[in-house]
Structure 1
Amino acid sequence: MASLNVGNLGEYLREQRRAAELSLRQLADAAGVSNPYLSQIERGLRKPSAEVLQQVAKALRISAETLYVRAGILDEREREELETRAVILADPSINERQKNVLLQIYDSFRKENGFEPEPQPGADTDTDAGSDAVTHPHS
């Protein structure tokens, strides 16, 4: 099954590279990987690491999470959650406290709908301690 994911990934990368009008060599240079290695990925012979996928995604100007799903590293729901979190965290119009509150609300809605929140770096996410440690805004 992993080879199917890798083949699917390779086909997708080739399509994205062609859509970006990049040669294999140009993409390899932009992503910081060797030309033969990138060729093997496109042909489904190699399964790249998440780091390599991130470099390739950046060079193609596409979502790394999309490549992670294609490679079987993430499932679709995880990708959607990560992209939602990334949009919130990248928004320059709100401050850090507001971002944290939004993420807490997002997690509570996901949990209410049967999805467990993903642990955040530096956050106390132990479910027992986390509920006590989280400050809920009361207007």
Structure 2
Amino acid sequence: MASLNVGNLGEYLREQRRQAQLSLRQLAEAAGVSNPYLSQIERGLRKPSADILQQLAKALRISAETLYVQAGILDERDPDEVETRAVILADPSINERQKQVLLQIYDSFRKENAHDEAHDEARDAMPHTN
């Protein structure tokens, strides 16, 4: 899992807020966070959780996946994988620790399946003798 790149995230959030023509106070209110907290995120001083990023994305009317990538929570990957990860991260019924464990399990299954596919492809490429 990539580490949070809060500096770039803050700059990105500020730019998105300006494009949406929202003040810091307006975005904070729409996202349900405090004005000082949002200011600290924009200045790269705070690391928001996936839930806070989801709230900010909703208030900015952008995809949460975009913010997850900007924050370093998600790597840019195939769209299906990004969507699956974003759904897990956005689920309000599980806590942050549970989300991270679930993502680790998901990663392990994907690696296992990729290994199995590579093994099958290598086997199929071998000449068959009768």
Tell me the secondary structure at the aligned position of residue 21 of structure 2. coil
Q: Which residue of 2 aligns with 1:21?
A: 21
Where has structure 1 moved over 6 Å in runs of 4 or more?
none
Instruction: Tell me the distance in 2 between the aligned counterparts of 1:81 and 1:17.
Output: 27
Q: Which position in structure 2 is the counterpart of 1:72?
A: 72
2:9 corresponding residue in structure 1 = 9
Distance 1:58 1:115, change over 3 A: farther
Give the equivalent residue in structure 2 for 1:58.
Answer: 58
| Residues 1:81 and 2:81 aligned together | yes
Answer yes or no: is the 8 Å Cα contact 2:3–2:73 preserved in 1: no
Shift of 1:2: 4.3
Structure 2: unaligned runs, 5 residues or longer: 87-109, 117-130
Following the alignment from structure 1 to structure 2, what is the Cα–Cα distance between the partners of residues 2 and 51? 16
How far apart are the structure 2 equivalents of 1:73 and 1:115? 24
**What amino acid maps onto 1:64 in structure 2?**
A
- Corresponding letter in the other structure for 2:40: Q
Query: Could you state the TM-score of these two structures normalised by the residue count of structure 2?
Result: 0.60
Q: Distance between the aligned counterparts of 2:60 and 2:33, measured in 1?
A: 13
Query: Using a 3 Å threshold, how does the CA distance of structure 1 residues 84 and 53 change in structure 2: closer, same or farther?
Result: closer
Q: How many residues align?
A: 91
Alignment gaps of 5+ in structure 1: 87-109, 117-139
TM-score, normalised by the number of residues in structure 1: 0.57
- Tell me which residue corresponds to 1:37: 37
Aligned CA RMSD, in angstroms, stands at 3.0
Shift of 1:85: 9.3
Q: Distance in 1 between matches of 2:39 and 2:85?
A: 32
